[in-house]
Structure 1
Amino acid sequence: MIPEDLQRLLPARAVLSCLGIATGGGFLFSALGLPLPWMLGALCAVMVAALARLPIAPAARIRPHTVAVIGVLLGGGFSPQVLEQAAGWTLSLAALAGFLVLAGGSVMLFLMRVGGYGRETAFLCAMPGGLTEMVELGADRGADARAIVLAHVLRIVIVIALIALWFRVIEGHEVSGVPVAPDGQLAGPRDLALMALCGIAGLWLGPRLRLPAAALTGPLILSAGLHLAGLVHGVPPAWLVIAAQIVLGSVLGCRFIGATLPEMRRSGLLGIGATFIALAIGLGFAILLEAALGLSRDQVILAYAPGGLTEMSLVAVAIGADLAFVTLHHVARLLMILGIAPLAFGLFPQSAARLSAQEGGEHDDS
Structure 2
Amino acid sequence: MVLPRLALALAIGSLGGWLASLASVPLPWLLGSMVATTLAATAGIPVAAWTPLRSLYIAVLGVLLGSGFTPDAFSQADEWGLSIAVLVVYTLTAGLLGMAYFRRVAGFDRTTSYFAAMPGGLSEMVFMGEALGGDVRTISLTHAARVLVVVLVLPVAFQTLMGFDTGGRGLPGPDLLSLGARNIAVLLGCGLFGWAGARALRLPAAPILGPMALSAAVHLAGVTEVGPPAELVATAQIVVGSAVGARFAGTPPATIARIMGYAAGGTVVLLAATLGFAALAAAITRVELPVLILAYAPGGLAEMSLIALALGTQASFVATHHIVRIVLVIGVAPGAYRLARHVLDRRQRAG
Taking structure 1 as the reference length, the TM-score comes to: 0.88
Match of 1:255 among 247, 258, 282: 247
Alignment of 1:295-314 (within 5 A): 295-314=287-306
Alignment partner of 1:280 is 2:268: no
- The separation in 2 between residues aligned to 1:224 and 1:187, in whole angstroms, is 18
**Conserved 8 A contact 1:178-1:317:** no
C-alpha deviation, 1:331, in angstroms: 0.6
Deviation at 1:181, TM superposition (A): 5.1
Counterpart of 2:133, as a letter, is G
Segment drifting more, 53-62 vs 17-26: 53-62
Partner secondary structure for residue 196 of structure 2: helix
Displacement of 1:351 in angstroms is 12
Q: Please state if 1:205 is matched with 2:216.
A: no
Which of 19, 38, 60 aligns to 1:28? It is 19
- The separation in 2 between residues aligned to 1:95 and 1:352, in whole angstroms, is 28
- Work out the CA distance in 2 between the residues paired with 1:342 and 1:189: 46
Structure 1 unaligned spans of 5+: 1-9, 354-366
Q: Deviations over 1:130-180 (max 9, x none)?
A: 222222222243311111001110111111111111112112222248543
Higher mean alpha-carbon deviation, 137-146 vs 339-348, is at 137-146
3-state DSSP class of the match of 1:114? Answer: helix
Q: Deviations over 1:154-213 (max 9, x none)?
A: 11111111111111211222224854359xxx6444223211111121222221111211
CA distance in 1, matches of 2:173, 2:122: 33
Match of 1:49 among 40, 46, 68: 40
The runs of 5 or more residues in structure 2 that have no matched partner are: 346-351
Equivalent residue number for residue 192 of structure 1: 184
2:153 counterpart residue number: 162
Could you say which residue in structure 2 is the equivalent of 1:16? Answer: 7
The CA deviation string for residues 230-257 of structure 1, in whole angstroms up to 9 with x for no partner, is: 2111221111100111111111211001
Name the amino acid aligned to 1:121. Answer: T
What does the per-residue CA deviation read over 1:105-140, in whole Å, with 9 as the maximum and x for residues that have no partner? 111111111111111111110001122222222224
Which residue matches 1:342?
Answer: 334
Most deviating of 116-125 and 136-145? 136-145
Deviation at 1:294, TM superposition (A): 2.6
> Which of 127, 138, 146 is 2:129 aligned to?
138
Shift in Å, 1:43:
1.3
Counting matched residue pairs gives 341
State the one-letter code of the partner of 2:60: V
Q: Aligned residue for 1:90?
A: 81
Instruction: Name the residue aligned to 2:348.
Output: none
Say if 2:87 and 2:296, in contact at 8 Å, map to a contact too.
yes
Corresponding residue to 1:180 among 168, 172, 175? 172
Give 1:364's aligned residue. Answer: none
Question: 1:29-73 deviations in whole A, cap 9, x for unaligned?
Answer: 111111111111111111111112223222433222111111111
For the structure 1 residues 47 and 180, does the alpha-carbon distance in structure 2 shift closer, same or farther, using more than 3 Å as the test? closer
Query: Are residues 202 and 39 of structure 1, via their aligned partners in 2, closer, same or farther at CA, if it must alter by over 3 Å?
Result: same
Maintained 8 Å contact 2:48/2:247: no
1:240 and 2:212 equivalent?
no
SS class of match (1:247): helix
- 1:322 alignment partner AA: Q
Q: Which amino acid aligns with 1:18?
A: A
Would the aligned equivalents of 1:51 and 1:256 in 2 still touch at CA under 8 Å?
Answer: yes
How far apart, CA to CA, are the structure 2 residues paired with 1:152 and 1:329?
Answer: 19
User: Which of 66, 71, 80 is equivalent to 1:80?
Assistant: 71
Match of 1:5 in 2: none
Question: Quick one: which amino acid aligns to residue 283 of structure 2?
Answer: A
The change in CA–CA distance for 1:30 and 1:231 in structure 2 (over 3 A counts) is same
1:103 matched residue in structure 2? 94
Q: How does the TM-score come out when normalised to structure 2?
A: 0.92
Q: CA separation in 2, counterparts of 1:12 and 1:23?
A: 16
State how far apart, in whole Å, the 1-side matches of 2:233 and 2:48 are.
22
Q: Partners in 2 of 1:222 and 1:328 — Cα distance?
A: 14
Which residue does the alignment assign to 2:28?
A: 37
Structure 1 contact 141–350 (Cα < 8 Å) conserved: no
- Greater C-alpha Rg: 1
Whether contact under 8 Å (2:171, 2:234) holds in the other structure is: no
Question: Whole-Å Cα distance in 1 between the matches of residues 51 and 283 of structure 2?
Answer: 44
Shift in Å, 1:83: 4.3
Deviations 1:326-364 (A, max 9, x none): 1111110001001110111111437999xxxxxxxxxxx
Whether 1:332 and 2:324 are equivalent positions in the alignment is: yes
Whole-angstrom CA distance in 2 between matches of 1:275 and 1:263: 18
AA aligned opposite 1:144: D
Q: Give the Cα–Cα distance (whole angstroms) in 1 for the partners of residues 272 and 47 of structure 2.
A: 36
Q: Supply the RMSD in Å over aligned alpha carbons.
A: 2.0
Is contact 2:172-2:233 (8 Å) kept? Answer: no
Match for residue 221 of structure 1 among 195, 213, 220: 213
Q: Which residue of structure 1 aligns with residue 118 of structure 2?
A: 127
Partner of 1:322 in structure 2?
Answer: 314
AA at the equivalent of 1:285: F
